[in-house]
Structure 1
Amino acid sequence: MTDRAFVAGNWKMNGSLSDIDTFSNALTARAADISCGLAVCVPFVYVARLAERLKGSDIATGGQDVATEIEPGAFTGEVSGTMLADCGATFTVVGHSERRAMYGETDDIVVAKTRAAIACGIQPIVCVGETLEEREADTVETVLKRQLGAVLDGCSDEELGRIVLAYEPVWAIGTGRSATPEQAQEIHAFLRSQIAERSDTLSRSLSIVYGGSVKPDNAEAIFAGDDVDGALVGGASLKADSFADIARAMPSHGA
Structure 2
Amino acid sequence: MTKRRQSRFLVGVSLKMYFTHARTIQWCAEVAEIARAHPATQGASAAADLFVIPSFPSIPQAHEILDDVASIGAQDLAEADFGAYTGEVSGAELAEIGCRVALVGHAERRRLFGETDDAVAAKTTAALRNGLTPIICIGEAEAGEPADAASECIRQLESAIAPARAAGVTGRVIAAYEPYWAIGAAEPASDQHIRGVCDALRAYLAEWNDFPDSAVIYGGSAGPGLLTRIADSVDGIFLGRFAHDPAAVAAILDEVSALTGALTGPSTPA
| Structure 2: distance between partners of 1:227 and 1:202 | 20
Q: Which residue is 1:9 aligned to?
A: 13
SS of the residue 1:91 aligns to: strand
Q: Which residue is 2:72 aligned to?
A: 61
Contact 1:95 1:110 in 2 (8 A): yes
Shift of 1:213: 0.9
Out of 192, 216, 230, which is 1:182 matched to?
192
Q: Which residue is 1:118 aligned to?
A: 128
Shift of 1:178: 0.7
Residues 73, 22 of structure 1: alpha-carbon distance in 2 compared, 3 angstrom cutoff: same
> Does 2:157 align with 1:148?
yes
Shift of 1:69: 0.4
| Structure 2: distance between partners of 1:195 and 1:25 | 35
SS of the residue 1:156 aligns to: helix
Q: Which residue is 1:240 aligned to?
A: 246
| Structure 1: distance between partners of 2:121 and 2:253 | 28
Q: Which residue is 1:210 aligned to?
A: 218
Match runs of 1:17-56 below 5 Å = 17-31=21-35, 32-34=38-40, 35-55=47-67
Q: Could you tell me the percent identity over the aligned residues?
A: 32
| Structure 2: distance between partners of 1:68 and 1:155 | 12
Contact 2:128 2:170 in 1 (8 A): no
Count of aligned residue pairs for this structure pair: 248
SS of the residue 1:130 aligns to: coil
> Does 2:196 align with 1:193?
no
Contact 2:10 2:48 in 1 (8 A): yes
Contact 1:11 1:42 in 2 (8 A): yes
| Structure 1: distance between partners of 2:146 and 2:171 | 33
Shift of 1:246: 1.7
Letter aligned with residue 209 of structure 1: I
Q: Which residue is 1:74 aligned to?
A: 84
Letter aligned with residue 230 of structure 2: I
Contact 1:17 1:49 in 2 (8 A): no
SS of the residue 1:65 aligns to: coil
Q: TM-score, normalised by structure 2?
A: 0.83
Q: Which residue is 1:109 aligned to?
A: 119
| Structure 2: distance between partners of 1:90 and 1:106 | 24
| Structure 2: distance between partners of 1:2 and 1:48 | 28
Contact 2:128 2:171 in 1 (8 A): no
Structure 1: tracts of 5 or more residues without a match: none
Out of 250, 255, 258, which is 1:249 matched to?
255
Contact 2:202 2:215 in 1 (8 A): no
Contact 2:145 2:193 in 1 (8 A): no
Residues 39, 198 of structure 1: alpha-carbon distance in 2 compared, 3 angstrom cutoff: closer
Q: Deviations 1:110-167 (Å, cap 9, x if unpaired)? A: 111111112112211111101126x379842442232012134333397554111111
Residues 163, 76 of structure 1: alpha-carbon distance in 2 compared, 3 angstrom cutoff: same
SS of the residue 1:182 aligns to: helix
Residues 152, 82 of structure 1: alpha-carbon distance in 2 compared, 3 angstrom cutoff: closer
| Structure 2: distance between partners of 1:25 and 1:138 | 41
Q: Which residue is 2:177 aligned to?
A: 167
Contact 1:4 1:207 in 2 (8 A): no
